A and B are shown apart, each in its own frame.
Chain A
Amino acid sequence: MSTVVPLSAQLINLFAAVILLLAFAMLAQRRVLPLINLFALQGLTLCLSTLVVAFSTGQAHLYGSAALTLVLKALLLPWILHRLVRKLQVKSDVEGLVNIPTTMLIGIVLVMVAFNVALPISQLASTISRGTLGIALASVMLAFLMMIVRTKAIPQVVGFLAMENGLFLAATSATYGMPMVVELGIALDVLVGAIILGVFFFQIREQFDSLDIRHLEKLKER
């Protein structure tokens, strides 16, 4: 390579790539508990990448974001989800509407779309980690895809949370993070959302004896 890239940028790229890898791994994962663990791992990687950004740019508030990410996404939410799975005695297999290889192929196409869409934006950005914008967008899209193709409620929630991970990555890579207020707000939203969804799960299961959200289709008006 002709120009020397700072080590921090290389590290950020590496972490971004790992986040993308984990997004794919979640898409391919058949079981619920490993899925949650992968999500936790993604949170951890996100925290590390934020730390590197914080360290290399000297933006102090990013340390706060990193800590928040660690506590919330790598520890608290996975713990809540684990508890939920145990309480609800969810069957370990995740069912999908589309089989896994096809999902993965769609995923690849999404990545290409995301990369190309992000290209002009990231060329405008001047931050050291601009290359990761495409990856962030791809992670959001993959999480969205996961929400679409999974029929059980818990994987859908994981997809929702993973989407937030992608957004957070986009925020750090494009603008060195959001203002702390916004970030705290989102974090709280996510937490509350997860708890409310947890309550919902109990209700859904009581109603239908299953967490299959296809049952919700019956709720439409005839």
Chain B
Amino acid sequence: MSISGLLWQFFAIALALALAPLLTGWVNQCRAWLQNRAAPPLLQPYFMLHKLFHKDVVLAHGASPLFVFAPYVVFGCMLLACAIIPTLSTDLPFAPAADTIALVGVFGLARLFIALAAMDIGTSFGTLGGRREMLIGFLAEPALLMVIFTTAMISQSTSVATIVETLAHGDFVINPSLAFAGIAFTFVSFAENARVPVDNPATHLELTMIHEAMILEYSGRHLALIEWAAALKLYAYSCLGLALFFPWGIAEGDSAAGLLLAISALIAKLAVGGALLALIETINAKVRIFRAPEFLGTAFLFAVLGLLVRLLLESRV
């Protein structure tokens, strides 16, 4: 750990805070274009955050301190996730704090808090959202873990930094198992980020929503924090996916030139990824909630197949 490493660590966090709403804005813009709508400005999420921070918090009568506390915890969890995932450089002082398995735990902790907060006011939609969120959670977690197992077996490590170093800086090898794991990871991140086949981030049709149902009672700065945390989550998942499956460009040391390259590579990759996300969301329809198990079951299946293929094809060569 060095001073410059620490500086880059804080820079990575600041970059995450700044880029995350931009990514959301970009996805929204692409989606609007694809759906023949007039697109909102790219900076719309920032405007919204600014507006929400300005507004008063309107708190329901039955709200407990947990309800007020939860947005901060969720925000903190997502920030930690962004601090661990190597976006620019693999030399991160905070990275040893949590490996990929612990990263799943961080997302789990955030999920627990937001589901509990949803149940706190005692409204029908709140509990509905909490229940569905936990449903998606327990379906997605095994698949995510199998993806992690596959990548961990390739690099002999669960630490994200080591995985990236092995995959990006080792010899070029085609790993069919990574293709399976990549598909599974895509499925899981769609479900986890409340995206279209499972949930619709733009809906306010009560009976179909999951994430939105949970945060109905939030307002003002609390809502802003939750929206920001959601953007950070999308950013974290995108960066994790990029780090695991397209790690080229992430710097190994902390030289300025390498990091400059890494930043431009990251932005380019995120732009392409965001556009693809918008495309997939546009050409798919949201499925019924009880089709979600099938969707995530398929993800799980791909992840397990990846693991098996890894064991069959690649372990003995």
Contacts and interface: CB of A to CB of B under 8 A. Distances in A.
Interface of A: 1, 3-5, 7, 9-11, 13-14, 16-18, 20-21, 24, 28, 100-101, 104, 107-108, 111-112, 115, 119, 131-132, 134-135
A131 B312 contact: yes
B177 interface: yes
B174 A10 contact: yes
B294 A111 contact: no
Contact of B174 (A11, A28, A104, A115): A11
Q: Which of B171, B298, B312 has the most CB of A within 10 A?
A: B312
Contacts of B76: none
B176 A14 contact: yes
A132 B317 CA distance: 12
Interface string B294-317: 100110011011001101111011
A143 to B, nearest CB: 16
The residue in A1, A10, A17 that gathers the most chain B C-beta atoms within 10 A of its C-beta is A17
Interface residues of B, number: 25
A134 B305 contact: no
B283 interface: no
Contact of A108 (B183, B305, B311, B312): B305
A138 B313 CA distance: 13
Contact of B308 (A1, A9, A115): A115
B180 interface: yes
A9 B313 CA distance: 10
Interface of A is mostly: helix
B173 interface: yes
Contacts of B176: 13-14, 16-18
Nearest to A116: B312
B313 A101 contact: no
B139 to A, nearest CB: 11
B174 A13 contact: yes
The 8 closest A-B pairs by CB, nearest first: A17-B176, A10-B174, A131-B313, A14-B176, A13-B313, A101-B297, A115-B312, A134-B312
A3 B317 contact: yes
Contacts of A112: 308
Given A28-B298, A108-B304, A17 B173 contact: no
Interface string B176-198: 11011001000000000000000
